[in-house]
Amino acid sequence: MPHSLSYDEADHDARRARQWLAGQARGEGFARPRLLELGTAMTALAAAATEREPVAVAPQPVGADPGAAGPGSRPAAGAGGDPSGIVKPLPPGLFDRHDTNAEMRWAAMAGQGYVVPTDRFFVRNHTRTPRIDAGTWRLSLFGDGLRGAPTRDRPVEFGYDDLRRLPAERVTALVECAGNGRRFFAGQQGRPTPGVAWGLGGVGVAHWRGVRLAEVLRRAGLTGAAVDVMPEGLDPEYVTGGVNLGRVRRPLPVGKALDDVLLAYEMNGEPLPADHGHPVRVVVPGWIGVSSIKWVGPVEVSATALFSPWNTQLYRMFGPGYPAGGATLGAQSVKSAFELPWDARVPAGAEVLLRGRSWSGAGPIRSVQVHTGDGGWRPAELVDADAGGPWQRWTARWRPTGPGPVTLRARATDATGVGQPAQARHNVLGYLFDGVVRHPVTVC
């Protein structure tokens, strides 16, 4: 009997968490008692936060094994031996660095088109960027959701050239880290959270070209019994809090896998760069960024529910008002950003054309308002060509009067009616910030 093809992210994660707690879900390569230990640690973290105790979280990665990148790959130190483990150049005019991650500066998007140029697209790594030879790389599908139940040791394989010979599609999609905006929990709301202190630059839209995951699953022998599909990256194993979580992996319901998920081998018209998943990555439109696995290799297709640390303990909402075991993350929250330097200087008396972008994981942006400190909220003008897309560009004209500090604000409402509150609801790990960001400028 066919299984439900529900592919709502929050619904899927909630069901899988319940099944995991009941012992009805599998997580190959990770002992359930060790995952329970991690769950206990996360619960303690939430309890400490409610008591306002200092919380120390080890920097990422902790004890990552540089040799664990698998056959055909090796970890990269980055251009010029960059200790971040990122390969591409990270000029300070384009990026803010956060250990193994690089955040796009929004001022770098001024004068750019709809998509983010690859040279300034943000980088989110759990460990470091591996260098993988496309000639020896293989996409390896296995599991009892495929005809004949191929094993991990004897999978159905596709090479890089095999994928490029299949029907190709181009998708324009947004990828965003679930922690994007995290630093504003501390900076605006006085409640620090652990993790990468992203501003608003942990997001980007690109043109992705590749083959539908659905096409590959069907050719690999997908059966009607399949429930979950779990892609796994080939980057080094991730160790945190003394626990080795293995390689990054996160299950998708088969309905989502058959809907709009792409196995991408090009980004903005060029082969994928190393930092963005070369030779092939997963792109999962509308879901949090960790679902879009980079450097994908093994893919398990299962007739029973799957779990991993990345959908049962990490990437969950902990803290006051949330369940003890954490709540699932829903769609990416609504956000708005000005294409303007932080603490920008603007001339008094001259008309300024403010530019920005707004986005939501739940649907297209319907309206945007701006506040320039000299009156109430007023509507911004939307760029018509962006209607219905993954994000929305907008403009607003402003003539600042006197010298001094001014706080700019922007807020958006998406097609489902969800908007941006003055303050985001707090959670211990700082996910899904959706509050109105206060952008400081100085009129001079």
Domain match, 347 and 408 both: yes
Question: In terms of pLDDT, which residue wins out, 72 or 291?
Answer: 291
CA 77 – CA 95 distance, rounded (Å):
18
Residues 6+ positions from 204 with CB-CB distance below 8 Å: 104, 115, 116, 121, 122, 174, 175, 176
Q: What is the CATH number of the domain that holds 389?
A: 2.60.40.650
Question: pLDDT tens digits for 304-318?
Answer: 999 999 988 788 899
**Helix, strand or coil, per DSSP, at residue 246:** strand
- 24: pLDDT strictly greater than 80: no
Domain match, 132 and 211 both: yes
Last residue of a domain, one of 305, 328, 351: 328
Q: What is the CATH number of the domain that holds 98?
A: 3.90.420.10
What is the domain range of residue 411? 335-443
The H-or-E segment that residue 210 falls in is strand 203-212
Burial-class residue 97 by CB neighbours within 10 Å (0-12, 13-18, 19+).
middle
Of these ranges, 16-30, 45-59, 127-141, the one predicted with the greatest mean pLDDT is 127-141
**Residue 40 maps to a domain:** no
**Residue 62 maps to a domain:** no
**Residue 31 maps to a domain:** no
Last residue of a domain, one of 299, 328, 357: 328
Q: How many other C-beta atoms can be found within 10 angstroms of the C-beta atom of residue 374?
A: 11
CA 243 – CA 233 distance, rounded (Å):
18
Domain match, 162 and 110 both: yes
CA 47 – CA 117 distance, rounded (Å):
42
Domain match, 317 and 380 both: no
Domain match, 313 and 365 both: no
Please state the length of the chain.
444
What average pLDDT score do residues 7-34 get? Answer: 60
Last residue of a domain, one of 310, 328, 346: 328
What's the structural domain count of the chain? Answer: 2
The tokens for 185 are 């929990």
- 175: pLDDT strictly greater than 50: yes
**Residue 61 maps to a domain:** no
When pLDDT is cut at 50, 70 and 90, the band that residue 326 belongs to is: confident
When pLDDT is cut at 50, 70 and 90, the band that residue 18 belongs to is: low
CB 167 within 8 A of CB 215: yes
**Residue 43 maps to a domain:** no
Residues 6+ positions from 298 with CB-CB distance below 8 Å: 140, 141, 142, 152, 155, 231, 232
Nearest Cα neighbor of 243 from 28, 37, 25 is 37
CB 318 within 8 A of CB 312: no
Question: pLDDT tens digits for 277-286?
Answer: 999 999 999 8
Question: pLDDT tens digits for 214-272?
Answer: 999 999 999 999 999 999 999 999 998 889 999 999 999 999 999 999 999 999 999 99
Domain match, 14 and 141 both: yes
Q: pTM (2 decimals)?
A: 0.85
Bridge partners (DSSP) of residue 75 are 130
**Residue 173 maps to a domain:** yes
* 111 dihedral zone (left: phi>0; alpha: psi -120 to 50; beta): left
Residues 6+ positions from 236 with CB-CB distance below 8 Å: 61, 64, 65, 66, 67, 68, 69, 75, 127, 128, 130, 247
Domain match, 190 and 164 both: yes
pLDDT at 26: 65
- 81: pLDDT strictly greater than 60: no
The tokens for 386 are 């962006």
The tokens for 342 are 């932080």
Tally of CA atoms within 13 A in the half-sphere of 149 that contains its CB: 5
